[in-house]
Structure 1
Amino acid sequence: MGRCATNVKKMTTPSISSSIVAPSFKGKKTASRTRASTRRTPSSSSATKTKEKVVINYYDINFRDDNHRSKYETLFKRGVTSTRFCDIDALRALHIEEDVRWLFANVGWNNFLMQKYPTYKRVTLDFLSSLRAVTHSGEGCGEGSIIFQLYNEEHTWTLTKFNEVLGLPNGGPRLTSKCWSADPIWRILTDDSEYDSNNSPGNHIRHPTLRYVQRLLACTVFGRQEGSKARKDELFMLDRMLHAQPIDTSAFLIKQMRDLANKSTTSGAIVLGGLITPFSLYLGHRERLEKEESIEGIDALDIPACALMNWIVKKDGTTLWCIKDNEDVLPPADTMSLRVEENWSFGKARPLARVSTPHATLDPPHTSEARPSTPIETKLNYLLTSVGDIKIEQKEIKEQLSSMSTFLGTLSNWIQSGGFLNPPCFSP
């Protein structure tokens, strides 16, 4: 059993009930003191392009030491993108809203990840660059301490405090056990023989609810911009949700934040800034956030995102759900409820009678005037059509690149021959 941290700084904060409310405003631009740090990469030849200057905005942050400043600069170069939360329209269109809420309720999440928070660059970088966390996974070893800075004020919290601010319960595992095997749950969810951490795509998960929640976990708690592969930690959380077993969510979140803050890479945008916004609101910084500009971008795992990931496809005016190489219309919500354990594998979905999804294009009635499409249906049909057009354009571009590659190879051979061969001809 490791040592337990005991020195926890006390702080005075506003009450939770009056402060954790997602902003309904649009952030405004504000002037801030900027100190520029630039770096040039020398060109090795005239054909090598010189990298653009990296201008770092330090705002008015007071750094505790050089290590703090260095972490900030590394994180700044990575960039910050909007956090993707649940999209209610997508949940309803896929018939999975009730099941998602049931999974969340099983671990005491309630509205966690259901409510969208804007992402702010300054507070994201301020929090992560200053984060120092010592947490303990063993029972009876205490919670440790989590130290961070926001708007030049340092705070020391415990895991209990973190869960309290995010509206999450305490208790349950703080890490995925090394003895826990993902094979049993993976076989149920995908019908694959065994789980392979290097080659287990999330889109092998058959049930729409479980596939959606796995990707949502990757985008939020586990802070991954690319979540195509299902990770063991994500499957562990899904397993706990399905069996209504407690889990200490903040411990997983803090571990991810700490690992992110200590990485030296400057690639891959930071995607979990939206989960830092509630801390700023709790500490009474709403007015400061109102003066800042939130990150623009997609802030939810919506229907267009599902289409781009090839989860759904539109054929003959009907939207189909894709399971590996199979496609079918989703059955009614009550026939695929996760409350029935037999439905977890989603193996009995295909033989069910086909029914139209709420967002599918319907044939007009013969005896009356056609029902006008709802805004959601109209938007969905437009987006799915656009996605189809994009895929066609991507295919054409690949063919053009292949043709160009062949031409360049022929041209290279002609140059090496000294011009003795007939000059190649490229057809655009």
Structure 2
Amino acid sequence: MPATNILVLGASGLIGRYVTDDLRARGFRVVGVARHFSPAQKVSALDLELPVMSMDAAALAQLLRTHDVDLVVNCLGVLQDGPGSDTQAVHRDFVARLLEAIRESGRAIRFVQISVPGAANEDRTAFSTTKREAERLIAASGIPHAMLRPGFVIAPAAYGGSAMLRALAALPVDLPAGEAGTPFQPVAVEDIAETIAWLAGRDIADESVRAVTWDLMQTQPISLGGVVDQFRWSFGTAKQLRITPPSFLIDLGARLGDLSSRLGWMPPLRSTAIAELRRGITGDPAAWMAATGIVPKTIAQAIGGHPATIQDKWFARLFLIKALIIASLALFWVASGFIALFISYDAAAGILRAHHFPPALVGPVTVLTSLMDISIGILIAFRRTAAFGLIAGIIASLGYMAVAAILTPDLWIEPLGALVKTGPAIVLMLVAFLMLDNR
């Protein structure tokens, strides 16, 4: 019988969120599961926050039985190993437990896996090799399944690589010729959702779709540079002058992205992303089109269907600047505290003495404020504590301004304007705080 109850794993992600909402609009009962939903994403009582990565097969089987699941859509994925991200655990080990859970549930369930395009002998990263290992487990399980291999996903929302390409299109930056010429076939997220809805409407006993592997992407060949050019057309930036950085700067940016991922951030520019980008995205959608009758949207149709709004343009222009803001604020606070404590301690303490600060407090106050500044910078540098660090920085800056106004008002008119410049710094910290959300 066709599926009526669907479980979407990774329902807070770029694909998972769209698929969950789309299937609900089509009348399916969809349980969306994620480790965390933003307040804006959790729109239904069926959006469940669960630690699925720590659930064993028995707990997953109970989840399937509780919600009478007929079809499971696995959209879970991580780009690269790092703190809190383990490609082997997410892509392979979890799928192995999920397949066991489907068998233990006692229900007839079709399994839809969102995988990656390309041939197995071209896999070079932990991301793609573990995705391919999951495919082999699914194929050997005997469970009715569909492995969907989407190309570069074009969606109304932007995250990761799709956000980065929008940023490139909005800023006066071009890709080096080697990267720009990489084959990069896209797919509209609407076509992914329509494919899953089509599968949900098929009887699970239908042998023609019992075990399928489909490439989902437009048929027309296009390069990575062509995808960026299409975004430029949407943003109205196609004719702006651009600079082309050398390839080694892209590699340097990827290394810096790897470093920031160790601090808990999830930058799109990391070594795995660059390796996959240079590999390209290609496939043959003929089997998918023939089976479903779906004619994939071209990138012009996918992007043209969502003309750039002012919020799209602001996001694209600020996306890469966000990293620069966070990094500069973290360095600013750490450097200011370090300089006052280790390099210019006498000068820092001298400012307090010159303004008749109690001598017994000069040393302790100088040390404590320096350590506080360093601590604020470290808090901002780590993603988990960045919000707290930014708020602490704003409060500390306001405190410095208030104390100076009372004890050393003449500092407000000193030639270099150190206190006057604190105001714009507070505004920048507020901007960073408001830009912390990723979804």
What is the TM-score normalised by the length of structure 2?
A: 0.29
Q: Which structure ranks higher in relative contact order (CA pairs < 8 Å, sequence separation ≥ 6)?
A: 1
